[in-house]
A and B are shown apart, each in its own frame.
Chain A
Amino acid sequence: MTDGIATEDLGSLKAELVDSIAAVGTLADLEAARVAFLGKKGRLTGLMKGLGALEGEARRTAGAALNEVKDAVTGALQARRDVLEQAELEARLERERVDVTLPARPRRMGRIHPISQTMDEMVAIFAEMGFTVAEGPDIEDDWHNFEALNFPPGHPAREMQDTFYLPDREDGAKMVLRTHTSPVQVRTMVSQKPPIRIVAPGRTYRSDYDMTHTPMFHQIEGLVIDETTHMGHLKGCLVEFARVFFDVDDLPIRFRPSFFPFTEPSAEMDIGCSRSGGEIKLGNHGDWLEILGCGMVHPNVLEACGIDSARYQGFAFGMGIERPAMLKYGIPDLRTFFEADTRWLKHYGFLPLDVPNVAFGLTS
């Protein structure tokens, strides 16, 4: 079937096959060439089969020469495949080119309301000082909202707070929308034994609606009851809070005497600011802005809640949430907080994963 193979013939065969492979233009033609040369009926395969007819030294010599041709052909096939595949990939990438300036498919995260964010910031700071969060209902009876807090019936101090009333409860109790978060103090003292250290953020209500008042707003209440806490600690706690919250280390802070039925001594806390052109800037600028009321819990309140006022004492404070948020984040109008305007929420809101945390920095 096969004649003897001359070495010089193999040399020209190798050149012929390698040249023809280099000339192939497509991957399909390359595969055809592979089959034609190395396939079951390929030319080299045929020659390989012919080796069986040779003997001894001649077979070894011819085998080695033939293998050299086969290796060269295999190498040429692979090299050509690499070239052609690369060309095809490049062609494909060119085909797949798009206009990347087209807008992405719409997808957006919503925003957290500044009130929630501010509450979380405040809780984060007070948590560092060992406070835990307490809660209470929005609808309160007169006892929790006023009487236990040392507002006697008919006392003019009640008129400081424009109260919303609901129909009387069956037992005759006057029902109100809580005018402050202070009833949570009462609920906490009635149900827990000292030492107590809580903050209570929540909704509060007063019948007042104008540029700077809304009938619903938010407060955070603080209460510390133990045997030794005094006015110095009250100052320490709130000064620390204000400087961390507003992120102004040298924020001027002033306490001045005031009156609340449920604290004695009582104080209001002002922070330093400037007011020009209707804009308030924080810092040491000579003017003052009131941000919270506070004081030592009145003995009558302790006694009303079943706590021995001869042994225990402590402080309480109550602070709005909207106003500090407006100051910190430059929000000009209180009423816009409750309008659910998506443009406002997008502008003043916070990314959901921006969780306030003292260790990583509060949001700003």
Chain B
Amino acid sequence: MKFTLSWLKEHLDTEATTAEIAERLTALGLEVEGVVDRAAELAPFTVAYVKNAEQHPNADKLRVCVLDTVDGEIQVVCGAPNARTGMMGVYAPVGTHIPGTGLDLKPGVIRGVESNGMLCSEREMGLSDNHTGIIDLADQDVGRKVAIGDSFAALIGLDDPVFDVAITPDRADCAGVRGIARDLAAAGLGSLKPARPPAVPGAFQSPLSVEILPEAATACPLFVGRYIRGVKNGPSPAWLQRRLLAVGLRPISRLVDITNFFTLDRARPLHVFDAHKLKTGIVVRMSRPGEELAALNDKSYTLADGMTVIADHESALGLGGIIGGVPSSVTDETTDVFLEVALFDPMRTAATGRRLGIESDARYRFERGVDPDAVIRGAEAASRMILELCGGEASELVIAGSVPEWRRTVDLRPARVKSLGGVELPVHRQAGILIALGFKPRDSEDRVLRVEVPSWRGDIAGEADLVEEILRVNGYDAIPVEPMLRETTVARPAVSPRRRLTGLVRRSLAALGMDEAVTWSFMAEDAAEAFGFVNPGLRLMNPIASDLTVMRPSILPNLVRAAERNRAQGFPHVSLFEIGPVYRDATDKGQETAATGLRAGPGGPRNWARTPRPNDVFDAKADALDVLTAAGAPVANLQVTADAPGWFHPGRSGVLRLGATVLAEFGELHPSVLRTLDAAGPIAAFEVYLDRVPQPKAKKDGSARKPLKLSPFQPLDRDFAFVVDADVAADRLVRAARSADRDLVTDVTVFDVFTGEALGEGRKSVALTVTLQPTQATLTDEQIEAVGQRIVANVAKQTGAVLRG
């Protein structure tokens, strides 16, 4: 919402400076987004008299002008065809920044003649696109005599600071200058001027009638019309043009400018029809699907069901509360007009505007709510202005519908200003603020103020709203800062055990050399499909980009693409992880937290001491196990199976399970999936589902751990080399060795695996180191021998392996 200082002063009697007003507006909740003072920018441009203009001796199209200026007599060379002796123009001295060209003016010699300044066109001053000639003050309707040295900005009313204020959606009343003035007056920055122009008497019965069809009774509860005959349209007076221009509106004609003026001045949108173009009287009805409207924004719209239409008996003339139509619009030839001052339902106006994509000053106000009690008043004020500017004679008002009931009373317990707002304010001060804003508070017996809400404050519904009114006019700065009281002296932990472990996982992964990424929760559907996306309920209805269309089923595609971007930029060593949501369905339980990572590239930078080794499935497995350890999973009890989902390499991937629950998937990514994502491999990756990790039960004994039992006897290692069928999983040998003697065997590791002709076709050698930990006494040779035999026998029984000879 833009307005100028002089416009504000039409409503507000104030001595406040621009800066004071701006500061108070923001303090009132009318946030000032900018104050533009064109006068400052245009200060160097002053009025000059062209004493003599004659042909340039060396150039056909140039003139040499001698000026009487604020700087004395100045000679300039001018290319404008309209430069002539005896005119008053706009002079810019050397050194002036010319807004239209962006250049600073320098003294020059043009074709041998000195030029020490400039006579300016409107375009050079950044006022318009007009560059047909220099400004001739004889053409300017400045309304007074001009003198050499007068500020040009002041002359045309540009010495009027323009405020740009952000209006929150609740403040419909401040979508007009008068509402803003009322707020400022309430806050003590002047007094609101009275504004109740006398009604215009009707001279005759309107020949046009208005009918609101029952179907439109809620969409348009009230329509006030008036026929005005014998008007003369044409350009508006300078003051009105300037006002509109200053706030960014193009003046069109008196009649149109008047409607725009009321929209901005009173938040009271109006419309005028050319009465001769109406076939019959006005009908307010609901749209008929498919009917067309050629709107005033030079676009054509096909209307859908449920839109409010202003029509004659033949066709739609306009969309109620949004925009008028071309065929019935006023022109310079218009002599009789029909004025529309109506109320339109905010919700329907908003829905229609949204559906058709029309942003208009009328819609902006109607969807926030126009003062229901100002319809007839608005009609009178608008009629008066039309008669003043265009002449003519007004009919009696034509009124269809009725003023909807807006009167309501909201109770305020004055103590609430302290108990909710934190400020101690005497009741008379509270009541004073409300009265200044147009409320009517009345004392009641039970120490409650019964506050009648003014018609323009549809946003006030409850006590809290009144507290806010009082607080904001009194100033939020006046609310004393009070510390938060704590329930306990020492704060208790803020996060759940699971969130704490998630943090531990995050910092563990970074400690393991991976960088944390944060990537979009949505991704391209083809990428998602390659990672198991199936649920159409997770497809965005209105994606913002073609590669951000579905909720991600996995974080991996995003990380793969990120790895590829880094590689393409010349940084191939990428270890990335992300902890974030993946989505299964749109229910509360359809989202889970994944800790996902990958290692791509040659396995680390080249180094004199170490040859890089490509990252493989076992790097991914180690990462997954580290994540699970940090997440508190019982890592020793996990099973590893080779049935990872299809986006992994089928022979180089696995799943970590706890019973039937999949806790993690790891492995090298499938080459075809990498091709789908246009990424180079190999990439070793893992995805751990943190929410599936069972949480430790609340401990009965607090945080104490089980006592540590240390054996006084040394452990010893024994190696066993087995030959077994090549498709037997090594893990089975390990488990068999371990279960051979659960008391003595504390660890089993695989230290060698190989195949070779000597072993036979389809056979492999698996070598285990078994750690034996005696707890009662040092083992004798016989005991060791006996354990060894049990291990060999159990491994043979469980896996068919034989001890290598």
Contacts and interface: CB of A to CB of B under 8 A. Distances in A.
Interface of A: 102-103, 105-113, 115-116, 120, 123, 126-133, 135, 137-139, 154-157, 159-160, 164-167, 169, 175, 177, 195, 199, 203, 205, 207-209, 215-216, 224, 228, 230-237, 239-240, 254-259, 264-268, 296, 298-299, 313, 337-343, 345-346, 349, 351-353, 355
Given A116-B516, A159-B354, A109 B511 contact: yes
Given A110-B512, A258-B29, 12 more contacts: A130-B487, A131-B494, A133-B495, A138-B591, A156-B350, A167-B539, A167-B586, A257-B472, A265-B421, A299-B464, A343-B571, A352-B506
Contacts, number: 274
A112 B506 contact: yes
A258 B471 contact: no
A169 B585 CA distance: 10
B605 interface: yes
B740 interface: no
A231 B478 CA distance: 11
B515 A110 contact: yes
Contacts of B761: none
A106 B604 contact: yes
A115 B367 CA distance: 38
A112 B519 contact: no
What are the nearest 5 A-B pairs in CB distance? A257-B29, A232-B422, A265-B468, A259-B168, A340-B562
The CB with the most chain B CB atoms within 10 A, among A139, A177, A345, is that of: A139
16 contacts: A110-B515, A129-B486, A130-B487, A130-B491, A139-B591, A159-B354, A165-B540, A166-B540, A232-B481, A236-B483, A236-B484, A239-B481, A264-B464, A341-B562, A342-B515, A342-B574
Nearest to A239: B481
A232 B510 contact: no
Interface stretch (B104-112, B389-397, B430-438, B542-550): B542-550
B422 to A, nearest CB: 3
Nearest to A229: B484
Nearest to B487: A130
Interface stretch (B216-224, B575-583, B660-668): B575-583
Contact of B482 (A154, A235, A267): A235
Given A232-B422, A338-B518, A298 B464 contact: yes
Contact of B516 (A105, A199, A349): A349
Contacts of B558: 340
Given A110-B575, A130-B488, A346-B515, A123 B542 contact: no
Contacts of A127: 491, 493-495
Contacts of A224: 484
A146 B18 CA distance: 39
Interface of B: 26-29, 31, 168-171, 346-347, 350-351, 354, 367-368, 418-423, 462-465, 467-468, 471-472, 476-477, 479-488, 491-496, 499, 503, 506-522, 536-545, 548, 551, 558-559, 562, 565-566, 569, 571, 573-577, 580-581, 583, 586, 588, 590-591, 604-605, 607-610
A110 B516 contact: yes
Contact of B507 (A216, A267, A299, A352): A352
Contacts of B520: 215-216, 338
Given A230-B422, A352-B510, A235 B481 contact: yes
A231 B479 contact: yes
A130 B486 contact: yes
Nearest to A103: B607
A203 B423 CA distance: 36
Contacts of A207: 542, 544
Nearest to B514: A110
Nearest to B349: A156
A340 B514 CA distance: 12
Contact of B538 (A156, A166, A228): A166
Contact of B518 (A115, A199, A351): A115
A191 B283 CA distance: 52
